[in-house]
Amino acid sequence: MNQPASAYFLEERHDPNETHTLSVLVQNEPGVLARVIGLFSGRGYNIESLTVSETESQKHLSRVTIVTTGTPMVIEQIKHQLDRMIPVYSVVDMTLSGRSIERELAMVKVRGTGNHRVEALRLADAFRARVIDATIESFVFEITGNSAKINQFIDLMRPLGLVEVSRTGVAAIGRGPEGM
Amino acid sequence: MKDKSHDPNQMTGAAMIVRALIDHGVQHLFGYPGGAVLPIYDEIFQQSEVEHILVRHEQGAGHAAEGYARSTGKPGVVLVTSGPGATNMVTALTDALMDSIPLVCITGQVPTHLIGNDAFQECDTVGITRPCTKHNWLVRNVNDLAKVLHEAFYVATSGRPGPVVVDVPKDVQFAVGTYHPPRKSDVHVSYSPRVKGDAAQIRKAVALLASAKRPVIYTGGGVINSGREASKLLREFVEVTGFPITSTLMGLGAYPASGKNWLGMLGMHGTYEANMTMHDCDVMLCVGARFDDRITGRTDAFSPGSKKIHIDIDPSSINKNIRVDVPIIGDCGNVLGDLLQVFKAEAKRPDIKAWWQQIAQWRARNSLSYRKNNDIILPQYAIQRLFEATRGKDTYITTEVGQHQMWAAQFYGFEEPHRWMTSGGLGTMGYGLPAAVGVQVAHPDSLVIDIAGDASVQMTIQEMSTAVQYELPIKIFILNNQYMGMVRQWQQLLHGNRLSHSYTEALPDFVKLAEAYGCVGLQVLKPADLDGAIKEMIAIKRPVLFDCRVAALENCFPMIPSGKAHNEMLLPEEATDAATASAFAGGKALV
Ligand SMILES: Cc1ncc(C[n+]2csc(CCOP(=O)(O)OP(=O)(O)O)c2C)c(N)n1
Ligand SMILES: [Mg+2]
């Protein structure tokens, strides 16, 4: 094993990375989002997407949805590290449960005239995107779906005059009658 | 409006803080005043239930509180001012977080209307301390203060203990509000650490242990944190099973060093027998330890043939570095109790005679041996003599960080828990002296010794002044090798013997320094004078600084080199230049 001079064991791990969506129920108090984000930056975990909003204002509960990548061991760590934070009620791995719905909303601005404009509108229709703003040379589409669908739509809009995109990030919920 | 002037629970925020300390049974707090905490200091002045110990640097208050906490099992309490007071606490908070020490730190803050304005002595205390506390709070309303203070004590001391910070703006300290004594509803409903282990997992563990041919018990600081009962149960469990036992740096004393099943400490500077036993075992029972990188060596070669049982109160400690087969989440003492009960009822102690014979062979390698010297004091010898001189006495040991710390762990035999205070996780030079101050405050009649290094001790040396002020007869036993020995050792092993800035030139005259502070200074140069001087030190009922001049170039062995496994230890008699070079091959070592 060839490692440079170090007081640490420099190992490389080669486990494959997985992508997981975590739903985290937290007490909505000052600094709680900073705690969650600080955990990820401090421990070197990835955040692919993060959404947060209060979901039960009476109980001051917020729901954070995080899409993260890592080896299975790291994903397990992330869940435990989140769970042991004082204001965290529960952490559910939506990917492991296998029975969850994930949705994202994007607003996509496209600028163009003539054929490009017609084609953009046709594709939007096929993707069930709605026009929420229009000028004679532009549209803003609203599209909802899983991230893959949105990525695909954005890719298709690119040659047709894509100007900019605003995405909410992923929200997730389990199927069936039970809550988390 | 109702007349509240006679309601005894109506009081200022500052008064609430002192009241809450009293309600939580706090007898001592360590602190340093400043503008943002003056209302609290004013309250402290007007009462006599809580004694305040004035340190000389806020970091010292933090470490003193850590020493206090570790030696008593009670939380350590700190009070510091805003801005620099709070930032000076960061090292101690991080240290306490890494070693799971319960601390409640109250910081003053600028008045709420000035927060965010870069006011004088303002800093974002909750932002700065968020990653180095178990939890923290900024209290903006005096009527939230009682609840937060009570929750702070609960969070610090329950589950896996740790430091917490309560940041209180000055206007909240002046404001009048309603106090209430501690009650259950003060705690976040989202926080409920698990104490009892899962019964099915405990059965699985017992079955595994009963079938073991080459078992080992590997314990850590969690056993100490769990309380004295856990150590008692651990001892009984060892007795009942007859298994060999080793421990991390943090766990020393849970099982007595004189016990016949004791293998010594494990890990980077652990004994050969402890590390070989870990490597070759078939069943490992890990209790309240966390498979830290100083323990495991190379993780892919760590105890490759064993089934692993892991008891820990913190689920995030499980499967973090090493995959285990039977995780049990719960308090060490609680789970040990259940484990013992089920083992006694359902299992028979396995025959492990052959395993003990193997261990005896490893022990015979005598991995802590060193060559004797009649002219210069060897540091190992100094610790051994200190141990002999204090054996059977009511002694507490703290340390700084470096070679002396490892030698203390190797050569000082701990018989009881809560007697050994060292900075394990963070490795904070400057920990030991203020920690000794804290220990002595808690145990005024005991013998409290900081085993120190010449470099480390200078990081918080001003706390000698605290020791003098409060008549705390701590002993600062410096293994003075005139080097940052541990840094030099790594430079010798890994950086071609280029001793870059690890030599401490212009060391102070420690004896004169001690005298300047009003302590007693002693110096010893020769092995022949050592015993007498130690005896003298112990007899002096005042703080003593003991300058023990030791061999400058001695290194700490045995050792697991970087990137190596437990069975690739470097033993002292093998640590010739050539062997060392090849052990560290791949590095730029000794080329
Ligand atoms: C605050 C801090 N700074 C730097 C280090 C890195 N470090 C580890 S051991 C050591 C040298 C300690 O020297 P000394 O106290 O004389 O102990 P010795 O190793 O000589 O026994 C240093 C600089 C540290 N652990 N803590
Ligand atoms: Mg030194």
Mutant choice from B166, B316, B322 vs A, greatest count of A C-beta within 10 A: B316
The answer to whether residue B2 scores a pLDDT higher than 70 is no
Q: A65: domain CATH number?
A: 3.30.70.260
Place of tokens 């002999």: B388
Strands (E), B402-474: 420-421, 447-453
A151 part of a folded domain:
yes
Shortest Cα–Cα distance, A7 to chain B (Å): 6
A117 part of a folded domain:
yes
Mean pLDDT of B489-493: 93
Distance from chain centroid for Cα B472: 21
**Domain end position, chosen among A76, A98, A120:** A98
The answer to whether residue B588 scores a pLDDT higher than 50 is no
Nearest neighbour of B191 by CB, restricted to A34, A76, A86: A86
Ligand 1 site-directed mutation target among B90, B487, B494, B548, most atoms within 8 Å of CB: B487
Q: A118: domain CATH number?
A: 3.30.70.1150
- pLDDT score recorded for residue B590: 29
Report the residue of chain B nearest A38, measured CA to CA.
B131
B413 in contact with A, Cβ within 8 Å: no
A8 part of a folded domain:
no
Instruction: Clarify whether residues A29 and A87 are in a common domain.
Output: yes
A41 part of a folded domain:
yes
The answer to whether residue B98 scores a pLDDT higher than 90 is yes
Instruction: Clarify whether residues A52 and A91 are in a common domain.
Output: yes
A7 part of a folded domain:
no
Give the range of the structural domain holding residue A123, as residue numbers without chain letter.
101-174
CB-count exposure of residue B182 (10 Å: 0-12, 13-18, 19+): middle
Residues B390 and B201: their CA atoms lie apart, in Å, by 43
B138 in contact with A, Cβ within 8 Å: yes
Residues B572 and A113: their CA atoms lie apart, in Å, by 81
Question: Inter-chain contact B298–A81, Cβ cutoff 8 Å?
Answer: no
Q: Whose CA is nearest to atom 8 of ligand 1?
A: B402
A55 part of a folded domain:
yes
Say what percent of chain B tops pLDDT 90: 90
Domain spans in chain B, listed from the N-terminal domain onward: 10-186, 199-363, 379-549
Distance from chain centroid for Cα B437: 15
Give CATH superfamily name and number for B379-549: Thiamin diphosphate (ThDP)-binding fold, Pyr/PP domains (3.40.50.970)
B539 in contact with A, Cβ within 8 Å: no
Mean pLDDT of B117-135: 97
In CATH terms, is domain B199-363 a member of 3.40.30.10? Answer: no
Indicate the length of chain B as a whole number. Answer: 591
Number of independent structural domains in chain A: 2
CB-count exposure of residue A75 (10 Å: 0-12, 13-18, 19+): buried
A4 part of a folded domain:
no
Asked whether the bond before B558 is cis by omega within 30 degrees of 0, the reply is yes
Ligand 1 site-directed mutation target among B63, B457, B484, most atoms within 8 Å of CB: B484
The answer to whether residue B342 scores a pLDDT higher than 80 is yes
Instruction: Clarify whether residues A43 and A61 are in a common domain.
Output: yes
Instruction: Clarify whether residues A110 and A167 are in a common domain.
Output: yes
Report the residue of chain A nearest B318, measured CA to CA.
A77
In chain A, what residues touch B131 (CB-CB under 8 Å)?
Answer: 38, 42
B481 lines ligand 1 (CB under 6 A): yes
For chain B positions 188-217, those within 8 Å of chain A (CB to CB) are 188-191
Instruction: Clarify whether residues A105 and A73 are in a common domain.
Output: no
Q: Which residue has the higher pLDDT, B385 or B572?
A: B385
Instruction: Clarify whether residues A69 and A122 are in a common domain.
Output: no
Give CATH superfamily name and number for B10-186: Thiamin diphosphate (ThDP)-binding fold, Pyr/PP domains (3.40.50.970)
Q: What contacts B501, CB < 8 A, 6 or more positions away?
A: none
| B39-67 confidence digits (pLDDT tens) | 999 999 999 999 999 999 999 999 999 99
The answer to whether residue B177 scores a pLDDT higher than 50 is yes
| B498-548 confidence digits (pLDDT tens) | 999 999 889 999 999 999 999 999 999 999 999 999 999 999 999 999 999
Give the ipTM. Answer: 0.89
DSSP assigned state of B301 = G
Residues B247 and B268: their CA atoms lie apart, in Å, by 12
In chain B, what residues touch A1 (CB-CB under 8 Å)?
Answer: 298, 563, 586
Asked whether the bond before B572 is cis by omega within 30 degrees of 0, the reply is no
Residues B330 and B311: their CA atoms lie apart, in Å, by 7
Cβ atoms of B130 and A34 closer than 8 Å: yes
B425 lines ligand 1 (CB under 6 A): no
Sites in chain A below the pLDDT cut of 50: 1-2
Mutant choice from B164, B166, B188, B313 vs A, greatest count of A C-beta within 10 A: B188
A12 in contact with B, Cβ within 8 Å: no
Question: Inter-chain contact B314–A84, Cβ cutoff 8 Å?
Answer: yes
Instruction: Clarify whether residues A41 and A59 are in a common domain.
Output: yes
A9 part of a folded domain:
no
Instruction: Clarify whether residues A64 and A33 are in a common domain.
Output: yes
The closest alpha carbon to A165, from A148, A177, A150, A180, belongs to: A150
Instruction: Clarify whether residues A92 and A38 are in a common domain.
Output: yes
Confidence of residue B483 (pLDDT cuts 50, 70, 90): very high
Confidence of residue B562 (pLDDT cuts 50, 70, 90): confident
Instruction: Clarify whether residues A129 and A78 are in a common domain.
Output: no
Confidence of residue B587 (pLDDT cuts 50, 70, 90): very low
Rounded to two decimals, the pTM is: 0.95
**Domain end position, chosen among A68, A98, A128:** A98
**Domain end position, chosen among A40, A72, A98:** A98
Instruction: Clarify whether residues A54 and A118 are in a common domain.
Output: no
Residues B92 and B70: their CA atoms lie apart, in Å, by 14
